[in-house]
Structure 1
Amino acid sequence: MLKIIVLIIHIIVSLFMMAVILLQQGKSAGISGAIAGGAETFFGKNKARTMEGTLERLTTISAVVFIITSLILTLLMGK
């Protein structure tokens, strides 16, 4: 029963992580992005409050939960 619950959580988290990753913008914008990108990171003090910062935080959290559920499923399959 526990294995089924963890597997369902694992599938939901993986689908959520795919959606969050696909919603993010690309980091490389060519040579113009390299020149203008420095100003964005220097002046972007409130990046965590933007949509991009929120998506990055959600990606990190979902990746950690994905790894934890993967390890739990590995341990449960061994029994």
Structure 2
Amino acid sequence: MESALFVLLILISLGLITVVLLQSGRSAGLSGAISGGAEQLMGKQKARGVEAFLSRATVVLAVLFFLVTIALAYFL
């Protein structure tokens, strides 16, 4: 059981790393932090298409990562 959880944790970790690296950056340097930061905080820019999928996949994989980690700690 522990071996299966370790393998599952590694696969989820690799998937989470991949999904996070595939996402585009939220800022465009210092100018993006000053001018574009307020727009992103207010939600004027909606994620569409691939960005929405990557965002949802990040949340799902992060939740799975925590659940599997807690289960692994319980069984060890």
TM bin (shorter chain): 0.7 to 0.9
What RMSD in Å do the two structures reach over aligned CA positions?
A: 2.0
- The answer for unaligned runs of 5 or more in structure 1 is none
How far apart are residue 29 of structure 1 and its match? Answer: 1.4
Q: Deviations over 1:41-79 (max 9, x none)?
A: 43x55x3x41111101000000000000000110111xx
Counterpart of 2:61, as a letter, is S
| Pairing 1:1-79 to 2, within 5 Å after superposition | 2-30=1-29, 32-33=31-32, 35=35, 38=39, 41-42=43-44, 44=45, 47=47, 49-77=48-76
TM normalised by structure 2 equals: 0.78
TM normalised by structure 1 equals: 0.75
Q: How many Å separate the matches in 2 of 1:3 and 1:53? A: 33
Counterpart of 2:2, as a letter, is K
Q: How many Å separate the matches in 2 of 1:36 and 1:71? A: 38
> What is the identity percentage for the equivalent residue pairs of Structure 1 and Structure 2?
33
Q: How many Å separate the matches in 2 of 1:54 and 1:35? A: 26
Structure with the greater alpha carbon radius of gyration: 1
Please identify which structure carries the higher helix content: 1
SS in 2 for 1:9: helix
Q: How many Å separate the matches in 2 of 1:3 and 1:36? A: 46
How far apart are residue 7 of structure 1 and its match? Answer: 1.0
- After TM superposition, the runs of 4+ consecutive aligned structure 1 residues lying more than 2 A away are 30-39
